[in-house]
Amino acid sequence: MVMRMASTRWCSAAGDRRVHIVYRIGYSLYIIKHNGIMKHTFSTLLLLTFGISASAQNVDEAKVPAAVKAAFTKQFPTAAGAKWEMEDKDYEAEFKQGDVKYSATFSAAGTWMETEHAIKLEALPEAVRKAAAATYPDHKMDRPEMLETPSGTQYEVELKNGEKELEVVFAPDGKVLKSKVEDENGEKEDGKD
């Protein structure tokens, strides 16, 4: 127990929640093993590992690299209230411009990768609406977003059918570029449609 407390203090001081979470997973697996519940440990460990690596971590603005902040300020000079997260090795800023909430992603070197913001269903191009209705006829469209990337504009839409939820990215002409299935834990997995 002393080791657990010392580890928690060290992780908090370092600000690294991932190390703390990995430690807690290891400790939990130790308890499971010694209580004779080792049957699904590998599956559990695999699920937890992917769940942790996919989660974003809040980052203090002082820890955001200067190149990232400079690129952000250059691209979004009127941005207000930026809050930073780190997802894998990329930095994501959530902010407002006017009345619109945006999210922009930059590499650690300051290269802009993507900007997204919510739009109304009516603002989706007609080709996207028709393609979604034809490709996913039993699904209801929800929460559309416009994605701007170096390669052009894309549209992301959540499609729901009861418990099943898809996240689909369309080109402006309606072509499906990418789809993800949300599983029962809220995690997103590459889908095959």
pLDDT in tens, 7-41: 332 333 333 434 334 444 444 444 445 444 444 44
Q: Would you place residue 185 in the very low, low, confident or very high pLDDT band (cuts 50, 70, 90)?
A: low
Mean pLDDT throughout 105-110?
A: 95
Asked whether residue 51 falls in the same domain as residue 64, the answer is no
Please report the pLDDT score of residue 108 as a whole number: 93
Please report the pLDDT score of residue 2 as a whole number: 36
> 84-87 contacts: CB < 8 A, separation 24 or more?
84/58, 84/59, 84/60, 85/56, 85/57, 85/58, 85/59, 86/56, 86/57, 86/59, 87/55, 87/56, 87/57
Asked whether residue 20 falls in the same domain as residue 75, the answer is no
Q: What is the CATH number of the domain that holds 147?
A: 3.10.450.360
Please report the pLDDT score of residue 141 as a whole number: 87
Asked whether residue 74 falls in the same domain as residue 11, the answer is no
Radius of gyration of the chain from its Cα atoms, rounded to whole angstroms: 20
Asked whether residue 106 falls in the same domain as residue 144, the answer is no
Asked whether residue 108 falls in the same domain as residue 64, the answer is yes
Domain assignment of residue 64, given as a range: 58-117
Asked whether residue 28 falls in the same domain as residue 85, the answer is no
Q: What is the pLDDT of residues 116-145, one digit of tens each?
A: 999 999 999 999 999 999 998 889 988 999
Please report the pLDDT score of residue 12 as a whole number: 33
Asked whether residue 37 falls in the same domain as residue 73, the answer is no
Mean pLDDT, rounded, of the chain: 75
Please report the pLDDT score of residue 32 as a whole number: 45
Asked whether residue 110 falls in the same domain as residue 78, the answer is yes
Please report the pLDDT score of residue 117 as a whole number: 94
Asked whether residue 131 falls in the same domain as residue 181, the answer is yes
Indicate yes or no: pTM above 0.95: no
CA distance 53 to 189: 13
Q: For the chain, how far is it from start to end, CA to CA, in angstroms?
A: 48
3-state secondary structure of 38: coil
Asked whether residue 63 falls in the same domain as residue 32, the answer is no
Give the residue with greater pLDDT, 66 vs 12: 66
Give the residue with greater pLDDT, 153 vs 187: 153
Asked whether residue 62 falls in the same domain as residue 106, the answer is yes
Asked whether residue 12 falls in the same domain as residue 69, the answer is no
